[in-house]
Amino acid sequence: MFKKILVANRGEIAVRVLRACREMGIKSVAVYSEADRESLHVRAADEAVCIGPAPSRESYLNMASVLAAAKITGAEAIHPGYGFLSENEDFAEACAQAGVVFIGPKPDAIRTLGYKSEAKALAKKAHVPIVPGTDGLVRGDVLKEARAIGLPVMIKAAAGGGGKGLRLAKTEDELKTQLLTAQSEAKAAFGDDAVYLERYLGHPRHVEIQIAADGRGNAVAFPERDCTVQRRNQKLIEESPSPALDSKMRREMQEAAVRLARESGYSNVGTVEFLVQDGQFYFIEVNTRLQVEHPVTESVTGLDLVQAQILIASGEKLPFDQARAAEIRAWSMEHRINAEDPEHNFAPCPGKIEALRLPGGPGVRLETHLYAGYTVPSHYDSLLAKLVLFAPTRPEVLARSRRALSEFEIAGIRTTIGFHQKVLAHPDFIGGDFDTHLSEKILETTHDRDAQERHPAAAA
């Protein structure tokens, strides 16, 4: 087992990993940028090293600086969290060359599964259903390719995810413009403008399967997470189990995810993402890292995924089998609270936290790095906290969510707390019958109501 681990991340996920290290009796090292000098993860670690200025490319994405911090502190392993270097195969290789264990998949698996077109080909080989689309990257006549699939089509960046390089082309006239936009976004985000096309599914659910494998041939799949409530292709609410799945589809999706893990030689934890529509599920991508929403799976199963990551990376076998991993012991829901203004297209809202009141009580788990007086920097992701609720049934989780959100107060900046309350009040969400357009529907209703309140005569 490792004696010291460096956490190559910031914010709430860095705090989460540091807590796992402390419970396992492992010394920890935090790295931080100059903008994060007062961040909570710096205080939570046994040691802390400044690795550069505020911009990510000069700090958290600077592989040489991160590895130098590991060397000078004697860290034997690096946990990358999510984002930043977590899915960078070059960093995984650099760790190996430096004699430091990368707590994540092998570089080859990151490279193959992280490149979406290759992941689709591998999924097809493993007999995992895929969304109809181009056979590889778009290199020739894009209009011909789109006509063969059938418009509308989704244009997707081959090298990454997170909603970047993702565009919908509804007509042939839109195709060229949206293709150029997607390629430009992909180039800026991933340094690669390669894209491919998929048939557009008009009313899907976004459902994912958490996997874990130990490199010894053992691979398991956990209960699904429903991540359908999104804005701009970014998740807002996740829950498990999904109200859209029955036990048969759950089992089939778990088996498909395990087949893909075995086919790719995967090790450590990861997530296989699917779209579900009209009683069918389709593979879309693999996230070769720990997910933001991993606490949902932990709450449902009672297992610790971060500790499992560390055990696997240290050479131990999976600490649980498929039967244990698949147990559903509760219903859980996660609300991502962001420093954003939903009334202005979820624009980022950094600033100083003037006052803070945190929710608590039975069945409430809060992952955050906030404290009163902390200044949310403008340089990074807008995630402030993950409010995770768990209870025996979905209605109880909904009631607990409403209660906990009503207790959650963040003064000084705009947040998405109010938007989450609107989602919880929407009849489609309460009934469990919704798709990825729910957020748009709620925003349109809100804007129409606000306009009517401001100008009742004109609205009439």
Residue pair 265/239 in contact (Cβ under 8 Å)? The answer is no
Question: Angle at which helices 417-425 and 438-454 pack, to 10 degrees?
Answer: 100
- Give 324-346 as a 3 state SS string: HHCCCCCEEEEEEEECEEHHHCC
Structure-block tokens of residue 389: 């609720």
In 3D space, the residue among 222, 367, 346 whose CA is nearest the CA of residue 292 turns out to be: 367
Using CA atoms, how far apart are residues 276 and 202, in angstroms rounded to an integer? 11
Using CA atoms, how far apart are residues 417 and 124, in angstroms rounded to an integer? 40
CA distances (Å), origin 403, targets 27, 49, 358, 398? 37, 39, 12, 9
Which one from 16, 205, 225, 289 is the annotated catalytic residue? 289
DSSP 51: E
Strand, coil or helix: what is 423? helix
Question: What size, in residues, is the chain?
Answer: 460
Structure-block tokens of residue 437: 């357009």
Those residues whose C-beta lies under 8 Å from the C-beta of residue 207, and which sit 6 or more positions away, are 224, 225, 226, 227, 228, 242, 244, 245, 253, 273, 274, 275, 276, 281
Using CA atoms, how far apart are residues 308 and 320, in angstroms rounded to an integer? 9
In 3D space, the residue among 379, 421, 419, 369 whose CA is nearest the CA of residue 399 turns out to be: 421
Answer yes or no: 402 catalytic.
no
Q: Diameter of the chain by CA atoms?
A: 71
Using CA atoms, how far apart are residues 336 and 367, in angstroms rounded to an integer? 10
* Beta pairing partners, 409: 357
Residue pair 80/72 in contact (Cβ under 8 Å)? The answer is no
Residue 184's H or E segment, with its range, is helix 172-190
CA distances (Å), origin 208, targets 97, 250, 366, 427? 33, 10, 22, 24
Those residues whose C-beta lies under 8 Å from the C-beta of residue 406, and which sit 6 or more positions away, are 421
Catalytic residues: 289
